[in-house]
Amino acid sequence: MAGHVFCRDLCLERGEPHQGTGDAPQRVLMLAWPRGKWRTPRWESVDMSPALAASIHEAAQSGLHVALVDRVGESESLPQLTALPESVSADFSSEADLIAAIDAYAAGEVFAGTFDPRTTIIVCTDSRRDACCARYGFSTYKALAATADREKFNIVQATHIGGCRFAASLVVMPQRQRYGRMTAGQAPAFLEALSRGQIFLPAYKGRTDEPEPLQVAELAALQWAADNDAPASVRLSHGGLPDTPQDGDEFVLSAELGANRLSIRLRARTFHVQGNCGVVAKGGGGDQIRWCLDQMSVAS
**pLDDT tens-place string over residues 206-262:** 999 999 999 999 999 999 999 999 988 999 999 999 889 999 999 999 999 999 999
As a whole number, mean pLDDT of residues 60-83 equals 90
All domains in the chain, ordered by first residue: 23-195 (3.40.30.10), 212-298 (no CATH)
- Kindly report which listed range (19-23, 143-147, 174-178, 228-232) carries the lowest average pLDDT score: 228-232
Cα 289 to Cα 246: distance, rounded to the nearest angstrom: 7
Confidence band of 6 (pLDDT split at 50, 70, 90): very high
As a whole number, mean pLDDT of residues 140-166 equals 96
Q: What is the pLDDT of residue 4?
A: 86
DSSP bridge partners of 68: 31
- Cβ-contact 292, 251 below 8 angstroms: no
Inform me whether the pLDDT recorded for 2 exceeds 60.
no
